Amino acid sequence: MEITVREMQEKREHEYLSPYASFSDRSKGRLLEEKPCDIRTCYERDRDRIIHSKAFRRLNGKTQVFLTPQGDHYRTRMTHTLEVSQIARTIAKALRLNEDLTEAIALGHDLGHTPFGHAGERALNSVCPGGFEHHIQSIRIVEFLEKKNGKPMNLSWEVKDGILNHQTEGKPETLEGKIVRLSDKIAYVNHDIDDAVRGHIIEESDIPKEYTDILGNSLSERLNTMIHDIVSNSENKNDIIMSEEIYNTMQALRKFMFENVYTNPVAKGQEKKAEKMLIDMYEYYLEHMEAIPEEHREATEGKERAVADYIAGMTDRYAVSKYNELMVPIGWQVY
């Protein structure tokens, strides 16, 4: 029997990748069994399914840190995702780990994020029974909510594990998942500094010298330092780690960002409005379930989860549009 392109790729993985890599032909599989692709490995297939999903496209209209910024160069949840993917793939390639798995996890890790970033997440978490966490919502999307021709995305176990465990407290089972977990922090700390400087919230010179002396004085220098540190400390090891100095400095820089940007009243002044808006919409839809699309009424966990699913999937712009439609009176025009 003639060997397929996929099988040749799987064979090359065993010849080139590190023994600590996640090999495509050793995946724990999918929830629903399906015939393998003759060209793509299972992780390549997962990556493509994520990229072609509606949930992925909606990331372009969702806040990263700054709500409704006036400018074309601020990050969105989509550009954040792409930056995480780039950092993670660079590390995976240098360590000879599975770049396709790494990319799939990175591209899918924030699919469940709400409109208005963490403000939206806080709003839904405050009203939804059982709470709301975007990494868990991401799994709901790939297992239940996102469907094509009536079928769920049906991603592999390894991709879903990486998505679910990308949070700081997460414990991914694969090295590729651990790469994405760290790359997420590296990406947002650095690009949020860039956006904060662009928005005149802080200046580059405001960053304490004790941090810049170690990590660097620019976005590219800091990324270079952190990525090289992970590669040099993780090479030929069954773990993904940073040196104590670089990790502690990154955490200190993250704390600086929380104190000076993430809680800054100028940068975050609109968040209370966004939270109230989503809470009002949540309460409205609970009383008017007929107003949400039929596919969102199918949640077996009850109408509260169905409403949360619908609102969480909205982009910022669509949420504002629906709020105005539902809550803002329109003048009666007589002709």
Tens of pLDDT along 178-208?
Answer: 999 999 999 999 999 999 999 899 999 999 9
Q: What DSSP string runs through 228-265?
A: HHHHHHHTTSSS----HHHHHHHHHHHHHHIIIIIT-T
Token pair listed for 9:
């790729």
The pLDDT score that the predictor gives to residue 297 is 77
Residue holding tokens 């690009």?
A: 191
Task: Check whether 69 has a pLDDT greater than 80.
Answer: no
Fold designation for 44-111+146-269: Hypothetical protein af1432 (1.10.3210)
**In this structure, are residues 161 and 109 in contact, taking their beta carbons and an 8 Å threshold?**
no
Q: Are 315 and 61 in contact (CB under 8 A)?
A: yes
pLDDT, tens digit (0-9, with 9 covering 90-100), for 73-102? 899 999 999 999 999 999 999 999 999 999
| pLDDT at residue 300 tops 70 | no
The token duo for 113 is 């994020």
pLDDT at 72 over 80: yes
Q: Which amino acid is at 21?
A: A
By residue count, the chain amounts to 335
* CA–CA distance, 39 with 161 (Å, rounded to integer): 24
- Per residue in 94-124, pLDDT tens? 999 999 999 999 999 999 999 999 999 999 9
pLDDT of residue 65: 83
Predicted local distance difference test score (pLDDT) of residue 150: 85
Band (pLDDT 50/70/90 cuts) for residue 295 is confident
Give ∠ CA 44-110-251 in degrees, rounded to 5. 110
Q: How far is CA 95 from CA 12, 239, 286, in A?
A: 16, 11, 49
SS3 assignment, position 152: strand
pLDDT of 264 reads 82
**Separation of alpha carbons 322 and 335, rounded Å:** 26
Q: Which residues of 112-127 are buried (b: 16+ CB within 10 A; e: fewer)?
A: bbbbbbbbbbbbbbeb
Q: Which of 88, 116, 68 is CA-nearest to residue 176?
A: 88
Predicted confidence at residue 148, as pLDDT, reads 87
Please name which of 260, 242, 135, 249 lies closest in space to residue 192, comparing C-alpha atoms. 260
Token output for 156: 């592999």
pLDDT of residue 6: 97
Kindly indicate the confidence band of residue 54, based on its pLDDT and cuts at 50, 70 and 90. Answer: very high
The answer to whether 316 and 63 have CB atoms below 8 angstroms apart is: yes
Q: For residue 1, what pLDDT band results from cuts at 50, 70 and 90? A: low
Q: Residues 325, 326, 328, 329: is their CA dihedral positive or negative?
A: positive
CB of 146 closer than 8 Å to CB of 53: yes
Amino acid 335: pLDDT = 64
Residue 334 confidence class, pLDDT cut points 50, 70, 90: low
Residue 26 has pLDDT above 90, yes or no: yes
Assigned token pair, 293: 């699309």
Q: How confident is the model at residue 270 (pLDDT cuts 50, 70, 90)?
A: confident
pLDDT at site 265: 80
Q: Residues near 231 by Cβ (< 8 Å), separated by ≥ 6?
A: 91, 94, 95
Whole-prediction pTM: 0.95
The 10s digit of each residue's pLDDT in 127-142 is 999 999 999 999 999 9
Query: What are the tens digits of pLDDT across the range 207-250?
Result: 999 999 999 999 999 999 999 999 999 999 999 999 999 999 99
Average pLDDT over residues 282-309: 89
pLDDT (0 to 100) of residue 331: 66
